[in-house]
Copies of this chain bind each other. A is one copy, B any other.
Amino acid sequence: MAALYHHPAPEEITLLPLLRAVADPVRLGIIYHLHSLGEANCTTLLRGRPKSSMSHHFQVLREAGILQTRVEGVQHRNTLRLDVLEERFPGLMSAILRECPADLPEKI
């Protein structure tokens, strides 16, 4: 496990990669779950998918600036970078998160 992740600075976050990252059903699901749970690690959100696939999606979200990963022991806890995103593209993520299903946490 690479203990270090590169999280892009706010100025490095650009719209098109961000949109591309969000425009995927699995990744949108990850975003919604993180929004509901506040924090989650990769395995928690697997729901039958292979780890390699989920790890890939977390990487895409990370490099797009959407989430940050904090290493805690053997787990890597992920949280949305809502403050940064709201500062960088006001209203964008909140518009997306408004569509978050209300019963998501139980679907895990």
Interface residues in chain A, defined as those with a beta carbon under 8 Å from any beta carbon in chain B: 15-16, 19-20, 22-23, 25, 28, 89-92, 94-96, 98-99
Contact = CB atoms under 8 A, between A and B. Distances in A.
Interface SS of chain A: helix
A53 to B, nearest CB: 18
Contacts of A23: 16, 19-20, 22-23
Contacts of A89: 95, 98-99
A78 B6 CA distance: 41
A100 to B, nearest CB: 10
B15 A99 contact: yes
A15 B28 CA distance: 10
The 3 A-B residue pairs with the shortest CB-CB distance in the complex, in nearest-first order: A91-B91, A92-B95, A19-B23
